[in-house]
């Protein structure tokens, strides 16, 4: 079968297409398998959605395949398919981009061979036949490097192979498919000798179980052979499944060339089946991420305790102190300092932002030169305009703090718009919730809010106004006014001195009774005034 390429590209400019095609390999299609539940994870969540460094595992393989495949690609989904599909679509899987990414459903999870087979119809429909060759990836190998897979494709071409597989040698190969080579029976398997077949862990004889070379689950296979071979698979094995790995023996039987390439380090081939392997992958990916940011000019004072998610971006000369966590889609500008025990999630920080110790910042935007903390909590929807300052024990939600404004101590500010040059005194609280609904507070430019003020929303404080400390503000305050809203103070001259002059209160009858009984520690009777 030959490849007919459909050039029905919609909406892509020529330049855009060229850019999208950069680095992609001609006539190479891709298939990523992501339909299995992953029993060994003992989870209600499908394995491929478990995150590694904050990013669902499946995206590692999908992104890698997208960077390689010059032809279309297919992601096979099944177990919790709706969720996986939603993720892939949010990620940009699309049939209108070039090359296109198809989401294919495997209704029953009958094995990896069956999974790949589900992609056939799409390639047939869209291209009139299979691509010249495919790169096939398991959805659970997030440590796989792009350079390795490129090398595998080159080897496949150079060797004129029909099937090329990636292997690695493990001290502890239990659970993986073993690579059976010629003479492996006598010598325990040796690289360089012809590959005969792959035997799954559960189907392996004792001798085969001792083979340490394992199948990583990454393959390059000629398209026409692939789908013909898949049709011939039989589920004759311990799991009653259609094993993709059986195409190796099929190729060998037909006298077609099968080659194997070993990864440079064993870690790269890690397939995640258990929570322990998940933790290993997490550690390795995190180390790689830290190394990448240090390389890019970011100081990590203690990489071992710095947690940076895969999608985070950090500007040059930013300094991260020990125990900092940066999560999700966070973007940090240049020259920022983030002190210890701070977590930043899905937030945007400008340049030269200082975050002192122990802050939690979620879904917030901090513009250039802002300072926050220690112990500040910015909840979703907070915007700190340039040079604004938020001090200790301040909680903010859905609130904008204007340029140069300050909320330095002990405050709750919610559903509030605060203008420029405003001072929010210690202990200010916006009372935004009446028990059923939320209401807004507006504080215009140059307002001074005295300490211990409660603003009962909805309320507006006009430009330049001053609110006296201790006020409970229930009415709008006009611009430039002074608002005092507290009980008037009464001074009673000499009262304290007169009280001091009274005779001391005598012992109570209860106390005398207890002392008579010799009971040492005596408490006054409840409600007794002393």
Question: Applying CB under 5 A, which residues contact Ca ion?
Answer: 140, 271, 273
Looking at 103-111, 336-344, 434-442, 485-493, which segment touches ligand UD1 (CB under 6 A)?
103-111
Task: Return d(Cα 429, Cα 68) in angstroms, integer.
Answer: 55
Which of 60, 123, 134, 176 lies at the binding interface for ligand UD1 (CB under 6 A)? Answer: 176
Tokens encoding 471: 């006020």
Residue 76 found at the interface with ligand UD1 (CB under 6 A): yes
Nearer to ligand UD1, 66 or 369 (CB): 66
Looking at 84-92, 102-110, 410-418, 497-505, which segment touches ligand UD1 (CB under 6 A)?
102-110
Task: Return d(Cα 480, Cα 159) in angstroms, integer.
Answer: 83
Nearer to ligand UD1, 139 or 419 (CB): 139
Task: Return d(Cα 455, Cα 476) in angstroms, integer.
Answer: 10
| Residue 115 φ then ψ, to 5° | -60, -50
Which of 99, 111, 333, 425 lies at the binding interface for ligand UD1 (CB under 6 A)? Answer: 111
**Radius of gyration from C-alpha coordinates of the chain:** 34
Residue 56 found at the interface with ligand UD1 (CB under 6 A): no
Task: Return d(Cα 451, Cα 487) in angstroms, integer.
Answer: 15
Helix H, strand E, coil C: the string for 191-239 is: CCCCEEEEECHHHCCHHHHCCCEEEEEEEEEEHHHHHHHHHCCCCCCCC
Which among 91, 341, 409, 439 is annotated as catalytic? 409
| Partner from ligand UD1, Ca ion, none contacting 112, C-beta within 5 to 8 A by type | ligand UD1
Which residues face 258 on adjacent strands?
A: 163
Nearer to Ca ion, 284 or 344 (CB): 284
Residue 34 found at the interface with ligand UD1 (CB under 6 A): yes
Q: Are 274 and 145 in contact (CB under 8 A)?
A: no
| Partner from ligand UD1, Ca ion, none contacting 76, C-beta within 5 to 8 A by type | ligand UD1
187-226 binders of ligand UD1 (CB under 6 A): 198, 200, 214-217
For the bound state, the minimum distance from the C-beta of residue 15 to Ca ion, rounded and expressed in Å, comes to: 40
Q: Computed from CA positions of residues 19, 21, 25, 26, in that sequence, does the dihedral angle turn out positive or negative? A: negative
Which of 48, 74, 258, 338 lies at the binding interface for ligand UD1 (CB under 6 A)? Answer: 48
Q: Are 426 and 443 in contact (CB under 8 A)?
A: no
> Exposure string (b/e) for 469-496, b if CB count within 10 Å is 16 or more?
ebbebeeebeeeeebebeeeeeeeeeee
DSSP state, residue 107? S
| Partner from Ca ion, ligand UD1, none contacting 177, C-beta within 5 to 8 A by type | ligand UD1
For the bound state, the minimum distance from the C-beta of residue 140 to Ca ion, rounded and expressed in Å, comes to: 5
Residue 101 found at the interface with ligand UD1 (CB under 6 A): no
Identify whether 409 is a catalytic site residue: yes
Q: Are 449 and 467 in contact (CB under 8 A)?
A: yes
Nearer to ligand UD1, 243 or 293 (CB): 243
394-453 binders of ligand UD1 (CB under 6 A): none
For the bound state, the minimum distance from the C-beta of residue 265 to Ca ion, rounded and expressed in Å, comes to: 18
Nearer to Ca ion, 271 or 373 (CB): 271
Neighbours of 387 (CB within 10 A): 17
For the bound state, the minimum distance from the C-beta of residue 53 to Ca ion, rounded and expressed in Å, comes to: 19
Binding site for ligand UD1 (CB under 6 A): 33-36, 48, 76, 78, 106, 109-112, 114-115, 138-140, 176-177, 198, 200, 214-217, 243-245, 271, 273
Give catalytic residues, as residue numbers.
409
């Amino acid at each position: 079968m030959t490849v007919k390429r459909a050039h029905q590209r919609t909406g892509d400019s020529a330049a855009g297409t060229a850019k999208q095609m950069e680095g992609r390999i001609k006539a190479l299609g891709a298939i990523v398998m992501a339909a299995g539940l992953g029993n060994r994870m003992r989870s209600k969540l499908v394995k491929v959605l478990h995150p590694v460094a904050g990013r669902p595992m499946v995206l590692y393989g999908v992104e890698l395949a997208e960077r390689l495949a010059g032809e279309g690609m297919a992601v096979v989904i099944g177990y919790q398919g709706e969720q996986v599909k939603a993720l892939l679509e949010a990620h940009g899987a699309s049939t209108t981009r070039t090359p296109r990414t198809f989401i294919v459903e495997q209704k029953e999870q009958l094995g990896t061979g069956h999974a790949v087979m589900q992609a056939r119809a799409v390639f047939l429909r869209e291209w009139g036949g299979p691509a010249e060759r495919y790169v096939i990836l398991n959805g659970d190998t997030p440590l796989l490097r792009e350079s390795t897979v490129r090398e595998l494709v080159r080897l496949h071409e150079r060797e004129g192979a029909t099937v090329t597989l990636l292997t690695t040698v493990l001290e502890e190969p239990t659970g993986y498919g073993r690579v059976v080579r010629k003479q492996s029976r006598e010598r325990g398997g040796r690289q360089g000798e012809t590959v005969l077949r792959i035997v799954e862990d559960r189907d392996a004889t004792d001798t085969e179980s001792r083979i340490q070379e394992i199948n990583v689950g990454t393959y390059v296979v000629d398209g026409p052979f692939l789908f013909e071979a898949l049709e011939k698979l039989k589920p004759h094995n311990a799991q009653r499944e259609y094993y993709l790995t059986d195409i190796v023996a099929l190729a060998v039987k037909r006298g077609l060339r099968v080659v194997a390439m070993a990864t440079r380090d064993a870690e790269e081939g890690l397939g995640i089946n258990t929570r322990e392997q998940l933790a290993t992958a997490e550690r390795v990916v995190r180390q790689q991420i830290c190394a990448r940011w240090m390389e890019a000019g970011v100081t990590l004072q203690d990489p071992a305790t710095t947690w940076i998610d895969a999608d985070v971006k950090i500007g040059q000369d930013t300094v991260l102190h020990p125990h900092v966590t940066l999560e999700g889609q966070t973007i940090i500008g240049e020259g920022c300092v983030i002190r210890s025990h701070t977590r930043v999630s899905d937030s945007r920080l400008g340049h030269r932002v200082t975050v002192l110790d122990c802050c939690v910042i979620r879904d917030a935007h901090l513009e250039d030169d802002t300072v926050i903390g220690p112990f500040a909590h910015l909840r979703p929807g907070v915007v700190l305009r340039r040079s604004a300052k938020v001090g200790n024990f301040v909680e903010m939600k859905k609130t904008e703090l204007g340029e140069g404004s300050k909320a330095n101590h002990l405050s709750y500010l919610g559903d509030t718009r605060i203008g420029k040059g405003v001072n929010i005194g210690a202990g200010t609280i916006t009372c935004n919730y009446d028990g059923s609904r939320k209401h807004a507070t507006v504080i215009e430019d140059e307002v001074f809010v005295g300490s211990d003020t409660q603003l009962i929303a909805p309320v507006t404080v006009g430009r330049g106004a001053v609110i006296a400390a201790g006020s409970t503000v229930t009415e709008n305050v006009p611009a430039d006014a002074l608002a005092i809203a507290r009980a008037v103070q009464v001074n009673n001259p000499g009262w304290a001195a007169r009280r001091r002059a009274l005779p001391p209160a005598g012992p109570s009858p209860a106390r005398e009774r207890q002392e008579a009984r010799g009971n040492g520690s005596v408490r006054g009777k409840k409600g007794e005034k002393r």
